[in-house]
Each structure stands twice: as C-alpha cells, then as structure tokens.
Amino acid sequence: MPLEAPQKHLIPHEGTWVGRIWLPAAFASNGIAGPRVVTALAGKVFELGDRFNTFADLINNPDPVGQIRQHSSREICSIEELQSNSIFTNRAERLAEEGLPCLLSPNDILATKACGVTFIKSLLERVIEEKAKGDPQIAAQVRQVILNTLGNDLSKVKPGSDETVALKAKLIEEGIWSQYLEVGIGPDAEVFTKAQPMSSVGYGVQIGIHPESKWNNPEPEIVLAVSNTGKIVGATLGNDVNLRDFEGRSALLLGEAKDQNGSCSIGPFVRLFDESFSIDDVKSCEVSLEISGEDGFYASGSNKMIEISRSPEELVNQAIGENHQYPDGFMLFLGTMFAPTEDRDHKGEGFTHHVGDRVTISSPNLGQLVNWVNYANKIPRWEFGLSQLIDYILKSRVS
C-alpha cells in the first residue's frame, strides 16, 4: 500500500549526519517546543541546539565536522523512532501540536536555490513542455519530432563551448531552438529560487501540487549545502516538485510552477564532507526514484550524477560570487536527472501525479527521502517562519 513507508534504512550507518527535528516541550530540556539542530550517529539522534541555534550556524562554522565530534550532545531518540514519528499519518495537523520528535527539512534560514536543465534528458523534456505549450495530449508527438531532429547531438556538447554556437545556429535553422536549450547548453546556467527560507518540508510528510494542475511530476535531485563563503560542506536529497503544464504555458509562470505550499522537499539529513564522503562521491552518486499510486500505478528509474552537463562546483560558482552573496549560506538543487514519462491516464499523455502517490528518492550514500502527494491547499499550512524562529530562539535564551 502507498501509505506504508519503504522498509529501508533512513540513512547509511557511516558518515557525519546533521539535520533538524521538531522537539515537543515534553522532550525539551528547557521545556520549550521548537526546531532543534541534531546529528545522527550509531542509530541515535543527538541534540546540537545548545551549540547551534540554526542549521545556518552549523554549516557556516569553519569546521562543522570537528565541532560536532568535540561537542557533548544529549540523546533524543533512535533514528528508527524518528523515522516512524515523521510519517504524516503519525503527525499532528500543526507543528505546535506535535507530541513526538519528528523530522523537519535540514535547512532553515538558508536560501533555497535550484539549477534547471543540467541533464540532457530533463533538458529535452523542458523543450517538449514548451513546444507542447503545457498540453500533455500532444507531448508524445512533440517528443518524437525533437528526438528525430536532435539525435545524440546534445549528449556530446559541453555547455558554453564553441561547439554550442554551431549547434545553436543549426537548431534555429530547423525551428526548434528554445529558451531551455539556451540555459542547457549556453554559457549561463539557469539558477532560480525554489523556496523561501523555512518553507521546505522534510521526510515523511505530504508534498503539494496546485489543484488546478493536470500535468506535474517529481524531480529527484542531489541538493548541496553551501556556506556563506561558497564552500560546499555536504549534500542531501531533494524533490523539486514541478507543475509541467504551468511552466509549459509560459516560462514566466516558473514561480507558480515551482513554489507552492509543500512543493520543496529536502532530506532526510545532510551528510557533511569528511574522510568518508566528499564532492567526488557526490559526482558519482546514483539517485533512484520510485512512484507508487493508490491506483496500482508504479514507476521507477535511476540516473547517475556523472551524466550532469555542468559540474557541481561550476553551478555553485554561478550562484554565489562577487555578483551575489548569501550571508546565511544556501541549499542548491543540482538539476533534474530524469522525469517520469510513462503513460498513466491516457495513451500519449505521459505521467502526472495522483493524490496519494508515494514518492521515494534514494541514494546509497544519502539515504532515502519519502513523501506523499496531495493538493497544496489540503496539506498543513506553512505557519512556522522566520518570525516564529526568532521568537523561539529568544525564549530559549532566557529560559
């Protein structure tokens, strides 16, 4: 049944793991309910909140791994208990009413940025959305026309190279040049704001799609945690939930296509770079996607980070630098590796979500991120923002 969580370990046993949980008052040493920064080790979850008020404080520390290893932490619960508590059917309607510790998205006040069309397969799907003008009924026909025209040209092209100039001229001549091809193979990557600080959801809860969307999909991605100096300090998993029909109608609808209540899921924990895990491991990661529907629909697939057209370092450098700073650091989605295209409702219309779909994104190095699909206006409202976080921190300091 889709409501059952996959029976897999939440995260691998090895590694340095950090994240956030909601800690009810009954479990808090100061008696104040709120978000806590935590680390996971040997099957247990330990509080870091007395050392780091926010996740941003942690990743902007010059030596986060060293700080965690030197810090004496209070045990909260087991990872297995936390995983079970975090499933939406076991949770309260509002954070303030939670009775047990549960996972939040790891990031809090960090900006949440995302890169688009960084993988060839997803690039082609973006072009198809545009040419189909958001109509799934003609997507299959458009897909075949584009593939017949492009062949394997794009898989051999380095974005921003001299070769792309000639390819661009060819595609313009054949009438299939696109704004998505411009950012996919041109010199400048697409970097956009995916979600507001504090708005991302984490493991186990429902993700939201707009009730008027008829063509939408999950986007499984690696998400980097980047400090305010531009240093990549770790990685996790993310679901860049997308409304294909909205963005396909107009690129100016990107904000609506990408940013709805519960449309950004990140987690379960961030794995920090240490002697067991590095950026090279990120580059070799394989990410898997499974979708299970209440109607019996099932789809799965996987892809490898080695297929990315721009390196993680290049994408980070295009997001932060002399032209743009992030004082709190930022999370960066590295782009969609693939989008499900299997027909679901009608032949030729491809994939779209149904309410109740279970979406599982996993990687051997980063664990698993599981969410269930519902309409954005039917899931818990986003109520705990920056103002509430500031109030919580101030109360904690005087307690």
pLDDT in tens, 152-170: 445 566 788 887 777 777 7
Q: Report the alpha-carbon distance of residue 170 to residue 97 in Å, rounded.
A: 59
Kindly tell me if the per-residue pLDDT of 301 is higher than 80: yes
For β-strands 286-292 and 330-333, DSSP reports them as unpaired
Enclosing H/E stretch for 115: strand 111-116
Q: What are 91-139's pLDDT values in tens digits?
A: 999 998 999 999 999 999 999 999 988 887 667 777 777 777 777 777 7
Provide the pLDDT for residue 208. Answer: 98
Question: What is the percent of the chain where pLDDT is above 90?
Answer: 69
Q: Report the alpha-carbon distance of residue 279 to residue 86 in Å, rounded.
A: 29
pTM, 2 dp: 0.91
Provide the pLDDT for residue 164. Answer: 76
Provide the pLDDT for residue 344. Answer: 92
Kindly tell me if the per-residue pLDDT of 248 is higher than 90: no
Ordered by start, the domain boundaries in the chain are 16-118+189-398, 120-185
Rg (CA), the chain: 21
Confidence band for 3, pLDDT divided at 50, 70 and 90: low
Which is more confident, 355 or 72?
355
Kindly tell me if the per-residue pLDDT of 272 is higher than 70: yes
Q: What are 338-381's pLDDT values in tens digits?
A: 778 788 988 877 899 999 999 999 999 999 999 999 999 999 99
Provide the pLDDT for residue 2. Answer: 62
**What average pLDDT does range 196-220 have in this prediction?**
97
**What average pLDDT does range 61-70 have in this prediction?**
94
**How far from 343 is each of 187, 215, 351, 372, CA to CA, in Å?**
34, 12, 5, 20
Provide the pLDDT for residue 390. Answer: 97
CATH class of 16-118+189-398: alpha beta
Q: Which of 269, 233, 227 is closest to 17 using CA atoms?
A: 269
Question: What is the percent of the chain where pLDDT is above 70?
Answer: 94
Q: Report the alpha-carbon distance of residue 358 to residue 293 in Å, rounded.
A: 6
CA angle 38, 197, 253 (to 5 degrees): 140
Q: Round the average pLDDT of the chain to a whole number and report it.
A: 90
**What average pLDDT does range 49-72 have in this prediction?**
92
